[in-house]
Amino acid sequence: MISGQVEGDPNTAVSSFGKIEEAQPGQLSFLANPKYEEYLYRTGASIIIINESLELKEPVKATLIKVQDAYTAFATLLDKYQQIQRQQLKGIQQPVYIDATAKTGENVFIGAFAYLGKNVVVADGSKIFPHVFLGENVQVGENCIIHPGVKIYHDCIIGSNVTIHAGTVIGSDGFGFAPQPDGTFRKVPQIGNVVIEDHVEVGANATIDRATIGSTLIRSGAKLDNLVQIAHNVEVGNNTVIAALAGVSGSSKIGNGVMIGGQAGIAGHLQIADGCKINAQSGLGKSLKTPGTSVTGSPAYDYSSAIRSQATARNLPQLEKRVMELESLLASMMDKK
């Protein structure tokens, strides 16, 4: 499963996982960060996954599994462990409301107090936890995990192998209001939907607004952290990651493999090219059309230039002192003439 090479007792058995600094016998742990190497030689873990490139400084009591990437290998095992646990969840708890027109596949779990509206489809192997609301015509693909309290409004489409964490709202109205001559605002009906493709994960208490017309799109492999806001008609590209508290305004198009830091803000109708990086707390007000561009600050600009500017700013007191000394020296020279 993880293409590892065993060093030590191949018959060692474990039944749970533990952090390397506090693991006990019978647990499996891993070492990926060199800062924790000291614990490798005194941990109580029975099995430890390590990078094959690691050169041991002392003997290790535990059985080792050497792999190319210990962090990825450990994540693979955790995922398999979680799948086994989830496979045990089957059936429909009571009370629930499932409309007569709704369809559920095989090995589906529907938790208590869930609501499945008209023409809802929940495909094979998906788990719908308690207090989830699925509005009319919602489609949920195979092997999805919809955690407690998630609300998915009408007509939204969720792909396969999607995880949506507790409290998230999918398909609420976009923020569309037309200013009127008398100073009031007239609501613009939001008649589109949200489409989330396969292998997407959305954190807790995030919001993804439905499109005014068409679809708000979250492409395959994208990962959205807790408390992320995605506005109407936004497109988030494949394998793009957005950290907590970031917000993307309406109709912006984010490319593939983009990384957006926490609390970043992105203005509306922008284009962000593939592979761009937007640092935490940055405020982006213009498009990034060159792939791989890195920016920081508010307003955000080129990362390297920003770092140099920050370094210069830290030296301003010293530079001010030197300027004052030079002015004093120049004044003294002028007095002698």
Query: Nearest Cα to 120, choosing from 102, 95, 99?
Result: 102
Q: What are phi and psi of 267, to 5 degrees?
A: -70, 170
∠212-216-222 over CA atoms, to 5°? 165
> Measured between alpha carbons, how far is 238 from 219 in angstroms, rounded to an integer?
5
> Measured between alpha carbons, how far is 286 from 291 in angstroms, rounded to an integer?
14
- Given 131, 165, 232, 269, the catalytic residue: 232
Query: Nearest Cα to 153, choosing from 208, 205, 108?
Result: 208
Q: What are phi and psi of 285, to 5 degrees?
A: -115, 0
Angle, nearest 10°, between helix axes 316-336 and 303-314? 60
> Measured between alpha carbons, how far is 73 from 220 in angstroms, rounded to an integer?
22
Query: Nearest Cα to 170, choosing from 232, 117, 123, 261?
Result: 232
Separation in Å, CA 262 to CA 241, 275, 309: 10, 17, 22
* H helix count then E strand count, the chain: 4, 38
User: Is 232 an active-site residue?
Assistant: yes
Beta bridge partners of 294: 277
- Strands of 3-78 (E only): list them: 5-7, 16-17, 27-31, 47-51, 63-67
Residues with a catalytic annotation lie at 232
